[in-house]
Structure 1
Amino acid sequence: MENRRENVVLFPFMAQGHIIPFFALAQKIEKHGYSITYVNTPLNIKKLQRSLLPGSSINLVEIPFNSTEHGLPPGAENSDSLPHNLLFSLLQATMSFKIPFKKLLFDIIQEQGGVKPVCVIVDFFFGWTADIAHEFGIFHSIFSANGGFGMACFYSMWLNLPHKNIDGGFGKEDSTVLYSIIEEEKLKSHSLYCPDVFSRECAEFLLPDFPEAGKHHVTQLSPSLKMAGKNNPLTEYHRKNLPTWANSDAILLNTVEELDKLGLMYFRRKLGIPVYAIGPALLSENVRSSRAGKEATISPDKCIEWLDKKEVKSVLYICFGSMNTISASHMMQLAKSLDASGINFIWVVRPPIGFDINAKFVADKWLPDGFLGRIQDQERGLIIDTWAPQVEILSHKSVAAFLSHCGWNSVLESLTSGVPLISWPVGAEQFHNAKFLVEEVGVCVEMARGTSFEVSQEDIIEKIEFFMGGSEKSKEIKRKSCEVEEIMKNAIRDIEIYRGSSVKAMEEFFRAALLMKDGTKNTN
Structure 2
Amino acid sequence: MSLVSSSMVKPQPHVVLFLFPAQGHSPPFLSLATRLHHYWPGLTITLVSTSHHTSLIRSFLPLDSRLRLHSLPFYPADHGLPASAESLADLPVAQFITFFKATETLYPAFDDFISSLVSNASNHAPLCIVTDFFLGWTVDVARKYKVFHTTFLTMGAFGGAVFFSLWLNLPHTLTESDRFTLPEYPEVVMDRSQLSKYILEADGTDEWSQFFKRQIIFLHETDAIVVNTVEEFEPLGLGMLRKTLKFPIWPIGPPLAPAHQPSSSKSEDETAIMTFLDSQPPASVLYISFGSQNTIPHEQMMHLAQGLEGSGCSFIWVIRPPIGSDPRGGFRDDWLPHGFKDRIKQKHIGLLVHGWAPQLKILGHRSTGAFLSHCGWNSILESMSHGVPIIAWPVSADQSFNSMMLIELGLGVELVRGPMESSGPTKEKVEEVVDVMMEPNEKGMEIRRRAKEYRDVMNKAWDEEGGSSMESLQQFVQSINTAAGNQ
State the secondary structure of the residue aligned to 2:423: coil
Encode CA deviations 1:407-446: one digit per residue, 9 max, x unaligned.
Answer: 001101100000000000010000000001001x210100
Letter in 2 for 1:204: R
* CA distance 1:27–1:401, change in 2 (3 Å): same
Is residue 228 of structure 2 the alignment partner of residue 254 of structure 1? yes
Encode CA deviations 1:287-329: one digit per residue, 9 max, x unaligned.
Answer: 2x228xx723235443222101100010000001111111111
Partner in structure 1 of residue 47 of structure 2: 38
State the secondary structure of the residue aligned to 1:452: helix
Among 340, 359, 362, the residue aligned to 1:390: 359
Matching of residues 153-232 of structure 1 within 5 Å: 153-165=162-174, 201-212=176-187, 214-232=188-206
Letter in 1 for 2:174: N
Partner in structure 2 of residue 9 of structure 1: 16
Is residue 294 of structure 2 the alignment partner of residue 324 of structure 1? yes
State the secondary structure of the residue aligned to 2:86: coil
Among 57, 61, 67, the residue aligned to 2:70: 61
Contact 1:39 1:63 in 2 (8 A): yes
Among 12, 21, 31, the residue aligned to 1:24: 31
Following TM superposition, by how much is the alpha carbon of 1:137 offset from its aligned partner in structure 2, in angstroms?
2.1
C-alpha distance in 2 between matches for 1:249 and 1:65: 28
Contact 1:43 1:75 in 2 (8 A): no
Following TM superposition, by how much is the alpha carbon of 1:23 offset from its aligned partner in structure 2, in angstroms?
1.7
Identify unmatched segments of 5+ residues in structure 2.
none
C-alpha distance in 2 between matches for 1:360 and 1:24: 32
Partner in structure 2 of residue 314 of structure 1: 284
Is residue 392 of structure 2 the alignment partner of residue 423 of structure 1? yes
* CA distance 1:478–1:7, change in 2 (3 Å): same
Partner in structure 2 of residue 354 of structure 1: 324
Following TM superposition, by how much is the alpha carbon of 1:478 offset from its aligned partner in structure 2, in angstroms?
0.8
Following TM superposition, by how much is the alpha carbon of 1:79 offset from its aligned partner in structure 2, in angstroms?
1.2
Is residue 92 of structure 2 the alignment partner of residue 120 of structure 1? no
- Alignment coverage as a number of residue pairs: 476
Contact 2:27 2:255 in 1 (8 A): no
Contact 1:298 1:388 in 2 (8 A): no
Question: Bigger CA drift: 470-479 or 106-115?
Answer: 106-115
Encode CA deviations 1:356-375: one digit per residue, 9 max, x unaligned.
Answer: 22211112x11111111111
TM-score (norm: length of structure 2): 0.94
Following TM superposition, by how much is the alpha carbon of 1:210 offset from its aligned partner in structure 2, in angstroms?
1.4
Is residue 76 of structure 2 the alignment partner of residue 109 of structure 1? no
Following TM superposition, by how much is the alpha carbon of 1:111 offset from its aligned partner in structure 2, in angstroms?
3.9
Matching of residues 470-509 of structure 1 within 5 Å: 470-494=440-464, 498-509=465-476
C-alpha distance in 2 between matches for 1:209 and 1:511: 31
Identical columns (%): 37
Among 376, 392, 411, the residue aligned to 1:407: 376
Contact 1:116 1:138 in 2 (8 A): no
State the secondary structure of the residue aligned to 1:99: helix
C-alpha distance in 2 between matches for 1:137 and 1:19: 26
* CA distance 1:129–1:114, change in 2 (3 Å): farther
Partner in structure 2 of residue 434 of structure 1: 403
* CA distance 1:76–1:457, change in 2 (3 Å): closer
Is residue 56 of structure 2 the alignment partner of residue 47 of structure 1? yes
Encode CA deviations 1:434-485: one digit per residue, 9 max, x unaligned.
Answer: 001001x210100013221352211110110112222221111111101110
* CA distance 1:424–1:513, change in 2 (3 Å): same
Partner in structure 1 of residue 219 of structure 2: 245
C-alpha distance in 2 between matches for 1:151 and 1:218: 18
* CA distance 1:39–1:460, change in 2 (3 Å): same
Matching of residues 435-474 of structure 1 within 5 Å: 435-439=404-408, 441-448=409-416, 449-450=418-419, 451-453=421-423, 455-474=425-444
Is residue 48 of structure 2 the alignment partner of residue 78 of structure 1? no
Letter in 2 for 1:254: N
Identify unmatched segments of 5+ residues in structure 1.
167-200
Letter in 2 for 1:28: R
> Structure 1: which 4+ aligned runs deviate by more than 6 Å?
none
C-alpha distance in 1 between matches for 2:198 and 2:27: 24
C-alpha distance in 1 between matches for 2:76 and 2:373: 32
C-alpha distance in 1 between matches for 2:218 and 2:47: 22
State the secondary structure of the residue aligned to 1:338: helix
Kindly report the root-mean-square deviation, in angstroms, between the aligned alpha carbons of the 2 structures: 1.7
Following TM superposition, by how much is the alpha carbon of 1:220 offset from its aligned partner in structure 2, in angstroms?
0.6
Partner in structure 2 of residue 290 of structure 1: 262
